[in-house]
Amino acid sequence: MSDPRIGFIGLGNVGGPLAGNLLRHGIELTVRDLDPQRVASLVERGARAASSPRELAAGVDLVITCLPSPAVSAQVMEQPDGVLAGLAPGKIWLEMSTTDHAEARRLAARVEERGATAMDCPVSGGCHRAATGNISIFAGGSRAAFERVLPVLSILGQRILHTGPVGSASMLKVLTNYLCTVHLAALAEALTVAKVAGLDMNTTYEAIRISSGNSFVHETESQVILNGSRDINFTMDLVIKDVGLFEALAKDLEVPLELSPLVLGIFRDGARRYGERELSPNIIRRLEDACGVRVLGEGFPAQMVDDEPKIPGYEVTPRPHSP
């Protein structure tokens, strides 16, 4: 797409930085959010505000939604003054929310009835990478649609993977978010054991980082745990939603799960104790409270910052299958 007019709906912890990244690249941007302060901050930087999803969709070439749940996405798309009412042939809708794959396909069919094109394009890698444009993007839809939007996705993200038809990207995003949650729960246990054992927590962090126990979650979320802020811009209710989507997918496919129900129970208990909007890394508080300790290190950041320079986004090609 050459010089597309883009509309962005949902300016939260991920959507706001993504929209800001488009502005930094000189994109003509229209925005919409229920929080007027989020809208105002982008308008001050050059965006235009829309009074409704319908107005936004009618005035742009490409609509991006980045919303907190499948129910909210459906409402934004299908209400009388929603996105669907403003779509027309030739326009494109990118669903960047973490959503249910069946819901993504259902809404995509409604988009296509309007003559427009639909893709599900969830992101992965943390809010700090959304702000810099170094986040990863899964893109579900036809190959032709993918190639059409790749220039825009290359601005929004660094590593872009075409996953197959609409819905495939949402399935993979739910799967990867589930794995992140498992890693976080395991790290909470490992770090607490290290603390109670009297190990130095900075040394513990480095030992895990350089070992086979390392993970992306350790390199990011363990740092804000050890700082004490526990601020990764992600909350327990969102963890429960994402793991619930993973469990629903497995149930539909008749895959018997053992670990997922345990992890979901841990976070439901955390939400009961500390509130649904508690930051997700504070799941470690359950163990801190039980052991009478605070799991802290020294010199760790309060929030993650992506200090890597933005590089042009590129398509990630899966390894070829062996004959």
Active site residues: 173
Cα 288 from Cα 87, distance rounded (Å):
51
> What residue has token string 């909470």?
188
Tokens of 226: 């050890």
Cα 11 from Cα 21, distance rounded (Å):
12
Alpha helices in 253-321 (DSSP H): 259-274, 285-291
**CA-to-CA separations, 277 to 96, 202, 250, 259, 268, in angstroms, rounded:** 22, 28, 26, 24, 12
Tokens of 51: 């009074």
Cα 116 from Cα 288, distance rounded (Å):
52
DSSP 19: H
Phi and psi torsions of 138, nearest 5° = -95, 135
Could you tell me which of 20, 8, 14, 108 has the C-alpha nearest to residue 59? 8
Strands 117-120 and 123-124, bridge-based pairing = unpaired
Could you tell me how many residues make up the chain?
A: 323
